[in-house]
Structure 1
Amino acid sequence: MDQEKIGVFISTLRKEQGMTQQQLADAIGVSNKTISKWECGKGMPELALIVPLCHILQISINEFLSGEHLLENGYTEKAEVNMMNLLQETENSKKKSRSSLLAFGITVIIFLFVVLYSVITNMGISMNMLFVDMPTLLSMFLVTALFLLGTNLGLPFFDSFRIIFGKKKSVSIKQLFQAKSAIKLAKITFLGMGFLESCISFMAIQPMGEGTLLFTGLSISISIALNGILYGLIGFLLLLPIQVRLEIMYMQKQEDSEKKTEDDAE
């Protein structure tokens, strides 16, 4: 869609009806600054506002999306073009969202490992000794999986990734609710297990030696004990944007359902 063209079209129709920006804004329940932004091509009305706006300006939705009055013989052809443009914009939006999630996750992981590397290097400890604590990691994954299976959220957990990355085409409100609940449970469980594993590791620390040897031994033990918290935070932060995205999709689905119910009632 050409936002600038649509903006000029809105401005022209408003002036033809002798309305000010404030009068049009009051009619559809927005501010005059919002109307000004639309007319300057710097934004588009929300979906819920397009129908009342078209009603006030006395145009069809197809004409609004085209940014011009349409003759009868070109109406169907223009409708198809507008539909293809909307589908393309939706696909581009999904790709942008997936790229943002991936970039966020990679950034978080890199940041945490840089911090960990800096701390450990300053202690004079080899990274090979502390980089991966497989027993801790496996126990965290195992308990999280048991929690998901015990609450019948195992399948919704995997479905959530298919929904976010566009592999699952048709999604109901119930499926979105289950998916976001599964991600939330996994996120909290993984983080909680990380802290629990670190607490157990701290309790098991046995100071040995004296002087420099004691300090080095304690540093290594403490760093290893912190692995649980580190893994928990990484898992929590990686799942957080997925949960937020599912929450947004869930609310949008609810709004669409409520609007459809209201339209059917009318």
Structure 2
Amino acid sequence: MNQEKIGKFIAELRKENNMTQMELADKLKVTDRAISKWENGRGLPDVSLFEPLCKELNISINELLKGEKTKENNIEHLSVETMMSYNRYIKRKEKQKMFLLLIIIVIVLCTFLTMAILSFNKTFFETKYTSDFVSGVSIPIPKHSYYRGTGGMDVYTTKLKTLKQPDGINIFINRYLCSLEKVEYDNEIYYYDQENNFTILQYRINNDGIGFINTIYITYTEGRIES
């Protein structure tokens, strides 16, 4: 069944009968948008409209579904054939609608589950990371960084995942580190937070090789490393 062909056929017959889309719509008790949709090949009339539509256009249902005028001989056979074709069309459209609905439901569920998980994440909606291990450690972090855990003994490393790119994150990190006291130890530069009494040993962003996902590493320790 050629939906576009049927639409052009309806438009051609409507014009032959000197009717506007609005006039035909009024006769069928539908909107002119519905008529436009049919004629542009973006849909077909409901089965309940076949008879009144064909009456207005002076054609048979068989001719409507074939999208062209037919000869009277063998019309019964053609009607069965075209009706079977229309039934296949309806079933195909129903499957497409169900598939689209399923996709929408999956997207909505995935979005809901993602937001639910992130809402319980200790860093995603925060602008500071508060250590579970060292009292007083509160480190500024880029918003929407996803907490992945902390490991270490005397030195702790926190890993955060982010979709933000390194250039912007590096500006954020440098601005924060510049607000701290620089401490040189064993030919390395560290950063001491005097107010909260902890030292930043590293604060950097690294691409994981996955493209747009990056990992932020924050390594810190209690107290001040003496130079």
When normalised by structure 2's length, the TM-score is 0.45
Which has the larger share of strand?
Answer: 2
The one of the two structures with greater contact order (alpha-carbon pairs below 8 A, sep at least 6) is 1
Which has the larger share of helix?
Answer: 1
When normalised by structure 1's length, the TM-score is 0.39
Larger Rg: 2
